[in-house]
Structure 1
Amino acid sequence: MKTTTINRRIQPLRGEVTVPGDKSISHRSVMFGSIAHGTTEITNFLKGADCLSTISCFRKLGIDIEETQDRILVHGRGLSGLCAPSQILDTGNSGTTTRLISGILAGQNFSSVLSGDASLNSRPMGRIITPLREMGASIASINDNDCAPLKIEPGKLHGIHYHSKVASAQVKSAILLAGLYAEGETKVTEPTLSRNHTELMLKGFGADISSGADNNGATASIKPCQELYGQKIPVPGDISSAAYFIAAALIVPGSELLIKNVGTNPTRAGILTICKNMGADITFINEKTAGGEPTADLLVKYSHLHGTTVEGAIIPTLIDEIPIIAVLAAYAEGTTIIKDAAELKVKETNRIDTVTENLLAMGGHITPTDDGMIIEGTESLTGAPVNSHLDHRIAMAFAIAGLAARGETTILDSQCVDVSYPGFFDVLH
């Protein structure tokens, strides 16, 4: 077990920070490059444990993937070029790898087994098993508990129109990827639009895909195509990783940070809206678009924050950032209400429970609810031992909380941050 100690920051935080590449886009670039014809070149790839699990899986499926210091080269073999793996596909702690690759594997002519660590194998997979079976896939939970390990065998797929009860990019993506191998058109309608990296990137690779929204929800549709084609993918900085430095600058008095090349896709950047609603001083600089993904440099200055309500359609755009939003709320004036976020219960931990536990340990005022939490702001938190429960988002959020807390904060099992942000504590220090 590794522990990291954070002491209260007396001096302002100043300077420039460049955060690692976006995790969601890094995963997808390897997956789509593997089933495309030709070579896909990826720059600013996130070499965190989760994305390396994706690389490992596709190597076991016969794909030649080169790693250099500044780029990843995926030598794709086309839509039908994957090979039967000789061993279990180990997805580690990565729910994204497990759910998305299931959609691809459902359309193959060979059998495969997916399994991960104890945390991954306790997360719900019924949400992808059900629609994939409706498409004709042969996919089963080996332990019959709707969790991994999953066994996927050859099946003849057909298009469906699936109405998802939750706005989930992973569910949507699994279905759309299976749709590449299905007969006829496949559609997914979700109550509100979840992150749309899959739709944007697949279109760039040449897929016949479209999307739109109306009063009944957001719908993405895909038709099978003859081939995808390798692309150059410049991965923007991950807004989820940038969120911790945004928060640090907002709560440490006198701070001013420039966070470079951050992905600002509206389906991911809900935290920027919430920060603005709380009174944050954030300026967009050098805005541009590459590969359909908007980016900007973010200039963030210390701000006197106030409480807000986080609910409804914005929740899917910031679900991973709720732990750090809770930290901001603890330092804000007034009350912050977070609701419609029951999805927090099925992340790496039940994040309603783990945020509550650690915020209370630091002297915060928080009341958990069935679908979120209510936080009363306080003038200051007090340093304390924080149990990450091996959840990278919890570890990083409470490290930032410690910067403005009285005394010393110790993060237990802090090595878990390597899942999404290797070197986070080095950059922070």
Structure 2
Amino acid sequence: MSHLPPQTKTLGPCGPLRGTITVPGDKSISHRSLMLSALAVGESRVEGLLEGEDVLATAAAMRAMGAEIQRGADGIWRIHGVGVGGLRQPDTALEMGNSGTSTRLLMGLVASHAITATFTGDASLSGRPMGRVIEPLSAMGAAITASLGGRLPLMLRGLCPAVPITYTLPVASAQVKSAILLAGLNTPGITTVIEPVATRDHSERMLAGFGADLSVEQGPEGRIIQIRGEAELRPQQIVVPGDPSSAAFWLVAASVVPDSDILVANVGLNPTRTGVIAALRLMGADITEENARVVGGEPVADLRVRHATLRAIEVPTELTPSMIDEYPVLFVAAAFAEGRTVARGAHELRVKESDRIAAMRAALELCGVVCEEFEDGLAITGTGGAPIAGGATIASLLDHRIAMSLSVAALHARRPITIDDAAPVATSYPGFYASLDRLAADTAEQAA
């Protein structure tokens, strides 16, 4: 898989952001639509797929294991699956690039097939621990040889038939839950996942849509998800809604740049993904939903956001699972709020594409923002709506969300902010800077 060379990006203050944009397809749904379509018998069609590097890594891996996957000139992806249990031995290592989601979910798929796969990734992904997935998949019978610290590159030898397990998630993680459920697809009997804290439920919704025998109940220990193995999946027609994680950048940008008014069209509003909207509304953001509808079992709406005066809050920890990817840009919103915002309970940020707690503290402090770092979050003292100082060069650490979050911060800074490498943005939002150009013609921007 090819990687873009480093791209330095400098952005400065801009005038009001105005217009209507459509964000890329939801990354979580895009990954899962490719994987499950590849396990169905017949042709599935996926419209609106996110065509970023992470999702393309998933497509390449499923091709390597036997699925036929093609993108038509009409932008629709057509997938001819191999059936549950039909994955074949890949000829070469599966190159995951920067995609932790691809890696963890595909490890689940391979775990219950009689094949061996080697997973490799870029420097960022290779530094991220996979132990939380290795533990339950090993209990199901997979033999996993990982690099020091449970990291990539690693080799996974699946077991067929695998052993069904009942597993309680020690930490809230949709990726770990999904990996176990995907392994359970080709495992005889019933595989059970108990999550004490609910996480995004795209896997459950999509597995049921493809015809898997899956149940979800609320018990005293939390949500109990059970899947009966040796499933037969039916091909589907899928329309991927816009990614709320990508929309979050525009929600914050329009909230902090004076006189802004943006309509973000076709945003997925799965209730397990809308924590950042709830948090921003608690801060006083002016976000309204228009044209609410249901598409493919997922709630969708157009989001209109106007500039507003933001107030500091203590971010409710119960929102954490539904906004874990949006914390970096929420930290940016806090930098412009009135008062001291405290966000805690987000330990998982330490093991994302970068240590997002330390990375955002360092970046914001370089831009003149007062921060206090905790093991599980940050406290940020905002400007009350005034521009931040800016004038810094920020290390993105190969993390697309760090790069985009600081790009948003630059739009209301006194001096331009330079991102040392904006190339990772292509992993999730290839058109981010083109969209910014459309919304703010006066944005002071240069690429070197």
TM over 0.5: yes
Distance 2:29 2:149 in 1: 30
Q: Is 1:147 matched up with 2:151? A: yes
1:38 Cα deviation after fit: 0.8
Distance 1:148 1:185 in 2: 30
Query: Could you tell me the TM-score, scaled by structure 2's length?
Result: 0.93
Please, which runs of 5 or more residues in structure 1 have no aligned partner? none
User: Aligned residue for 1:192?
Assistant: 197
1:91 Cα deviation after fit: 1.0
Q: More displaced, 152-161 or 235-244?
A: 152-161
Residue 412 (structure 2) aligned to one of 404, 414, 420? 404
**Partner SS for 2:63:** helix
User: Aligned residue for 2:402?
Assistant: 394
1:77 Cα deviation after fit: 1.3
User: Aligned residue for 1:417?
Assistant: 425
CA contact (8 A) 1:207 1:225 kept: no
Residue 49 (structure 1) aligned to one of 53, 70, 90? 53
- Within a 5 Å distance, the mapping from 1:48-87 to structure 2 comes to 48-69=52-73, 70-87=75-92
Please, which runs of 5 or more residues in structure 2 have no aligned partner? 1-5, 438-448
1:423 Cα deviation after fit: 1.8
Distance 2:418 2:228 in 1: 51
Residue 18 (structure 2) aligned to one of 14, 30, 48? 14
Distance 1:93 1:319 in 2: 17
User: Aligned residue for 1:99?
Assistant: 104
**Partner SS for 2:56:** helix
| Partner deviation per Cα, 1:203-247 (whole Å, 9 max, x = no partner) | 000001111334422221111144101101100000010001111
**Which amino acid in structure 2 is aligned with residue 400 of structure 1?**
V
1:309 Cα deviation after fit: 1.4
Distance 1:365 1:144 in 2: 36
User: Aligned residue for 1:356?
Assistant: 361
Distance 1:255 1:311 in 2: 27
User: Aligned residue for 1:380?
Assistant: 387
**Which amino acid in structure 2 is aligned with residue 12 of structure 1?**
P
**Partner SS for 1:382:** strand
The two structures, once aligned, show a CA RMSD in angstroms of 1.1
Distance 2:425 2:60 in 1: 20
CA contact (8 A) 1:106 1:139 kept: no
Deviating runs (4+, > 6 A) in structure 1? Answer: none
| Partner deviation per Cα, 1:266-292 (whole Å, 9 max, x = no partner) | 101110100110011111001111121
Distance 1:122 1:293 in 2: 33
Distance 1:71 1:308 in 2: 43
**Which amino acid in structure 2 is aligned with residue 381 of structure 1?**
I
- Within a 5 Å distance, the mapping from 1:161-200 to structure 2 comes to 161-200=166-205
Identity %: 45
**Partner SS for 1:37:** coil
Q: More displaced, 351-360 or 383-392?
A: 383-392
CA contact (8 A) 1:129 1:140 kept: no
Distance 2:136 2:40 in 1: 24
Q: How many residues align?
A: 427
| Partner deviation per Cα, 1:278-322 (whole Å, 9 max, x = no partner) | 011111001111121111000101000001112422101101100
Assess, with a 3 A threshold, how the Cα gap between structure 1 residues 320 and 154 changes in structure 2: closer, same or farther: closer
**Partner SS for 1:84:** coil
Q: More displaced, 293-302 or 156-165?
A: 156-165
| Partner deviation per Cα, 1:56-96 (whole Å, 9 max, x = no partner) | 11111111101124111111111122211111111111111
1:353 Cα deviation after fit: 0.7
**Partner SS for 1:136:** coil
**Partner SS for 1:119:** helix
User: Aligned residue for 2:445?
Assistant: none
- Within a 5 Å distance, the mapping from 1:26-41 to structure 2 comes to 26-41=30-45
1:339 Cα deviation after fit: 0.5
Distance 2:355 2:24 in 1: 25
**Partner SS for 2:255:** helix
CA contact (8 A) 1:201 1:291 kept: no
**Which amino acid in structure 2 is aligned with residue 375 of structure 1?**
I
CA contact (8 A) 1:260 1:297 kept: yes
